Amino acid sequence: MNANTSVNSSDTLTVSSGRPSEPQRPPRKRYVFLMSAPALLGLFMFLVLPFLMALGMSFTDQRLLSPNATEWVGLRNYDRLLNISWLVQEPVSDAAGNLKQTADGELVYPRLRSVLRNDPEYKDFKEYTHWSFDNKRVVLLAKDPSFIQSIINTLLFVILVVPIQCGTALGLALLINQKLRGIFLFRTVFFSPVVTSIVVVSIVWSFLYHKDLGLFNHYLSAMSFGLIGPVDWLGDPDWAMPSIVLMSAWQAAGVQMLIFLAGLQGISGDLYEAAELDGAGPWGKFVNVTLPGLKNTTIFVVISTTIQAFGLFTQVDVMTRGGPQGSTSTVMYHAVTKGFREQDIAYGSAISVIFFLAILAIALLQKRFFDKREDA
Amino acid sequence: MKHLRKLGAYLFLLLIGYVFLFPLLFMIMSSFKPEQVIFADLYSIRAILPVGDLTLDNYRQVFEKSDVLLYFRNSILITSATVILGLFVNSLLAFTLSRMRWSGRKYILAAVVALMIIPIEAIVVPLLLLVSKLPTIGWEQGGFVLMGSWLNSLEVQILPFVANSFFIFLFYQFFRDIPKDFDEAAELDGATPFQIYRHIIVPMSGPVFATVAILHFLLMWNQYIWPIMAVQGEDARPVMPGIQIFFGRQTSWGEIMAYASFVTLPVLAVFLAFQKKFVSSLAGAGIKG
């Protein structure tokens, strides 16, 4: 209050010397404060503060509702999430030194569970996956195998959906950039999935993906003359994630299409004429004029699509609930399962922090990658 | 030759258009058809045509089995409150950032830009804890009292989403490019900053207000991850968690399509009414962001 009054008097001083009508005016500072405070308060309360809380709570054992006091646990949550180990198992042999085999001729290994339980070094680990080399078996261990799987699933989704979605978007943008009568109608059509909620889209596509009734299996069977049998798109661990990728790219490509379209329309027509004079065909013009002209647009589209893809949650929650066999569980899905459904806020917060750092790192990496390409 | 190429282009466009329009049309048409007809029509063009015995039975069933009207009302309230408050609050901050000089302005602007990268997903878990500790102010026996938490309320779905760094940035860019002469003249006439905002900047900024309103509307109507966490009860439930729960009970596909069509109606209506504005605002937002 004091500061305000002093500003007030100095303001009045300068003002009264030049402009006689203004002394009653409240100081500018108060306007700045009043006009900026609501938004700044909102951003702080609901974005900065939760983010800082996540950072802090990730080192505790905070739960949503708990009778016990919260305690610092250091890096325990991160250790549980990210600690990976492995061990090599020799096959079991009998007294004579012959390798034991099951009835179908498979080698027998010591029971992993008892091995892990008895070795203090492996106490909290569980099996993530295993491979066999020669006679040996290599077991990959993690303290939270479903989180490791969620990371891999999320990366798979990102690697598949970003090129498909951006490629589709560029293709659509080129299509509607043609000078044809009524082309804006198609622009509306291509864009219409974007305004439809992803929840609704996921439900409708669940029907299209249905194993017995769905359209995909119908067309697949019709086009292959019955050779390809029905695929259980969302029920097969190998197909569930690709199915979600296809639907997600279809739903969201309209946004990137518009951004590419604006980029295309920003490329000067002179460049195309020059290329034509140099004897470039349609392909040559595309490679030498269109693509370089879209560079900044592409950077923006790829980075924003990647960030969005990392947050995959809704489609999974509606269509597969992380299944089958955890094949569609994602980082965000794991965070919500742990932090909300199992009420382990601290663990969910640690996942949120890792999620944010991953996004930040990838955004910076992609930016650098594109910047380097420009220098080259 | 030229005509042939044109014809080819149109055919290709129609094919791709079919791929993009099919699920939406199929959803709407199926919502008016009895279960057997949906399956009978599924593999032909009839799937996306309003043919056969059309009925409103699916809708009647949905209204009977689910409190969809309540959810719909909740979504309308949440969306409109957030959008209106957001237009006001975000544009005010953008105004001080773009058209007033004050110490710390540059840092606040940099912070707003930096905050754009934090996705909502990264903060929902701690935000849940935060709002569970925030008390609401209620009216009881003739006086204000603090009670309960924010969970299961409408405000928990509104207040966290009013201030938005991306929208602030869109406003900032637009305001920044308006010539300064206007405010300077007004200032000489003794106008306060708020008067300048109200009478000069806002009237000149129709396009950016429309853009932000549309984007915010879309964002809020389709909210899903936050309400499924913060709103367990039915009283404050919005439409998207509502349809997901209905879908989880696996009733008939016709009813599910009716539900889906009903909750998509508002966005579709706004989209078709403001089609050109919608498209240009999203494209513009993308380019500048």
Q: Which two tokens stand for residue A118?
A: 């008895």
**A positions 25-64 inside 8 Å of B (CB):** 25-26, 28-29, 31-32, 35-36, 38-43, 45-51, 53-54, 57, 62, 64
Q: Is A29 within the bounds of a domain?
A: no
pLDDT digits (tens, 9 = 90+) for B106-151: 999 999 988 888 888 888 988 998 888 887 776 667 766 666 678 8
Give A-chain residues touching B125 at CB under 8 angstroms.
54, 335-336, 339-340, 345, 348-349, 351-352
- Decide: A81 and A143 in contact? Cβ < 8 Å: yes
Are A128 and A169 part of one and the same domain? no
Collapsed DSSP state (helix, strand, coil) of residue A88: strand
- Decide: B222 and B240 in contact? Cβ < 8 Å: yes
Are A156 and A248 part of one and the same domain? yes
Domain residues for the domain of A102 are 84-142
Give A-chain residues touching B161 at CB under 8 angstroms.
46
Domains, in order of start, for chain B: 1-55 (no CATH), 67-288 (1.10.3720.10)
Pick the last residue of a domain from A142, A169, A189. Answer: A142
Q: ipTM of this predicted complex?
A: 0.88
User: How far is residue A324's CA from residue A153's CA, in Å, rounded to a whole number?
Assistant: 12
Pick the last residue of a domain from A142, A157, A183. Answer: A142
**What Å distances lie between residue A359 and A315, A354, A368, B114, B118, CA to CA?**
20, 9, 14, 13, 9
Are A244 and A300 part of one and the same domain? yes
Are A192 and A89 part of one and the same domain? no
**What Å distances lie between residue B239 and A48, B76, B157, B226, B246, CA to CA?**
28, 9, 13, 13, 10
Are A286 and A369 part of one and the same domain? yes
Q: Which two tokens stand for residue A193?
A: 């999935």
Are A108 and A208 part of one and the same domain? no
Are A153 and A134 part of one and the same domain? no
Are A260 and A298 part of one and the same domain? yes
Angle, nearest 10°, between helix axes B165-176 and B206-221? 170
Dihedral sign, Cα of residue B248, residue B254, residue B255, residue B258: positive
- Decide: A337 and B229 in contact? Cβ < 8 Å: no
In the numeric block, the tokens 């129609």 are attached to B14
Are A229 and A91 part of one and the same domain? no
CATH number of the structural domain spanning residue A368: 1.10.3720.10
Are A165 and A224 part of one and the same domain? yes
Best A46, A185, A297 member to test B by mutation, with max B CBs in 10 Å, is: A46
Q: Is A282 within the bounds of a domain?
A: yes
In 3D, which of B153, B226, B82 has the Cα closest to residue A314?
B226
**A positions 77-136 inside 8 Å of B (CB):** none
Are A130 and A207 part of one and the same domain? no
Question: For all residues of chain A together, what is the average pLDDT?
Answer: 84
Using the Cβ of A311 and the Cβ atoms of chain B, whether some distance falls under 8 Å is answered with yes
Pick the last residue of a domain from A142, A157, A182. Answer: A142
Nearest CA in chain B to A43: B163
Q: What pLDDT shows up at residue A59? A: 92
**B positions 49-78 inside 8 Å of A (CB):** none
Q: Is A368 within the bounds of a domain?
A: yes
Are A123 and A157 part of one and the same domain? no
pLDDT digits (tens, 9 = 90+) for B72-106: 999 999 999 999 999 999 999 999 999 888 888 99
* Burial class of residue B175 (count of CB atoms within 10 Å of its CB; 0-12, 13-18, 19+): buried
Report how many domains make up chain A. 2
Q: Is A248 within the bounds of a domain?
A: yes
Q: 3-state DSSP: chain B helix, strand, coil percent, rounded to 5?
A: 75, 5, 25
Residue pLDDT tens, chain A, 376 long? 344 444 444 444 443 344 444 445 557 788 889 999 999 999 999 999 999 999 998 998 888 877 778 888 888 889 889 888 888 888 887 777 777 777 777 778 888 878 788 887 788 888 888 888 878 888 888 888 899 999 999 999 999 999 999 999 999 999 988 888 888 889 889 988 998 999 999 999 999 998 888 888 888 888 888 777 788 899 889 999 999 999 999 999 998 998 898 889 888 888 888 888 888 888 888 888 899 889 888 888 998 899 889 999 999 999 999 878 889 999 999 999 998 888 888 999 999 999 999 988 988 888 788 777 665 5
Give backbone dihedrals phi and psi of B147, rounded to 5 degrees, phi first.
Answer: -145, 155
- Decide: B157 and B230 in contact? Cβ < 8 Å: yes
User: How far is residue B19's CA from residue A165's CA, in Å, rounded to a whole number?
Assistant: 15
Residue A47: which of B115, B260, B282 has the nearest Cβ?
B115
Q: Is A330 within the bounds of a domain?
A: yes
**pTM for this entry:** 0.86
User: How far is residue A345's CA from residue A66's CA, in Å, rounded to a whole number?
Assistant: 11
User: How far is residue A139's CA from residue A281's CA, in Å, rounded to a whole number?
Assistant: 55
pLDDT digits (tens, 9 = 90+) for B24-74: 999 999 999 998 888 888 888 888 888 878 889 899 999 998 899 999 999
